[in-house]
Structure 1
Amino acid sequence: MARLRLVRSRRVGPATFRRMLAEHGNAIAALAALPEVA
Structure 2
Amino acid sequence: ARTFTDMFEAIAEVCDLYSPQECWKYFKAAGYVSG
Same fold (TM over 0.5): no
Please say which structure displays the higher CA radius of gyration. Answer: 2
Q: TM-score, normalised by structure 1?
A: 0.38
Whose relative contact order is higher, 1 or 2, with alpha carbons under 8 Å and at least 6 apart?
A: 1
Q: Which has the higher helix share?
A: 1
